[in-house]
Amino acid sequence: MSIVYLGIDDTDIPGSPGTGRVARGLAKHLEKHGLAQSLGVSRHQLLVDPHIRYTSHNSAKGIAINIEATTAQLLDASLEYMAGCYQTGADPGLCICPESQVDDEIIEYGRLAVSSIITKQAAADLAQKKGIILKELGGTGDGIIGALAAVGLRAGGNDGRLVDLRGIHDIKGTITADYIKKNTDIDRVENVDGFILEDAELIDSLDRIRPNLRSGKPVLRVERDIATGHWIPVEHKLKHSHEEMK
């Protein structure tokens, strides 16, 4: 099996299921049909600017998969699923890029989308130059900008948080760092200074853990709660994120 990155963006309109839900559904769709094994869905925050149209937070979603099918089969299944999610007024885009085709230029494009306005033509030109799949799926097709950015950022391995990953939605209550590693695909638990917690350290999950990507690995970052002295997830402050909850 080999790793393939998918990126999607601009799939929603106000009141519709968010892009996060669409991305999670796409990953499950590919698994259900025996085409891939999901390595998690990540949220990547892109530039927020009045000149950029977006529904809520202008974040794109990346999916990493171990592929068990041809690229053509993967594309057909992805297009089928995305067509069923289409919302009139949305401008969705889809990018599919094998890990073998990722290079510094694609990763830099993703980084640029975090801080700069990028045109649709620039995204299309880069995809054509690199020979990777980038599809407009309706509306203006502006979603290809964020879809390609999500691939670059996910492949870069140091941006975004995982909103879907094996086991993370089942972690509840207070557990050990070792329990988290054994029951999810999280690689390690570390504090805000980058020190890795010992296996026996207790973490109050607050019933919600969302690891970050660090050097390509899912890493749960924790901090001390001043009131209780317990370790708690750093990302708990984002638990009411509108786009992720939809």
User: How far, in Å, CA of 243 to CA of 11, rounded?
Assistant: 12
User: How far, in Å, CA of 38 to CA of 57, rounded?
Assistant: 25
User: How far, in Å, CA of 23 to CA of 193, rounded?
Assistant: 31
One digit per residue, the tens of pLDDT, for the chain of length 246 reads 699 999 999 988 878 888 999 999 999 999 999 999 999 999 999 876 566 565 556 789 999 999 988 899 999 999 999 999 999 999 999 999 999 999 999 999 999 999 999 999 999 999 999 999 999 999 999 999 999 999 999 999 999 999 999 999 999 999 999 999 999 999 999 999 999 999 999 999 999 999 999 999 999 999 999 888 889 999 875 544 444 544
pLDDT for the residue numbered 105: 98
The residue written with tokens 């401008």 in the block is 91
Q: Tell me the CB-side half-sphere exposure of residue 68, using CA atoms within 13 A.
A: 10
pLDDT for the residue numbered 180: 98
pLDDT for the residue numbered 18: 87
User: How far, in Å, CA of 33 to CA of 140, rounded?
Assistant: 30
Q: From 124, 129, 130, select the one nearest 145 (Cα to Cα).
A: 124
pLDDT for the residue numbered 22: 95
Which domains does the chain possess?
Answer: 2-161 (3.30.70.2200), 165-245 (no CATH)
Exposure of 198 by Cβ count < 10 A (0-12 exposed, 13-18 middle, 19+ buried)? Answer: exposed
User: How far, in Å, CA of 62 to CA of 3, rounded?
Assistant: 13
Residue 111 in tokens: 């980084």
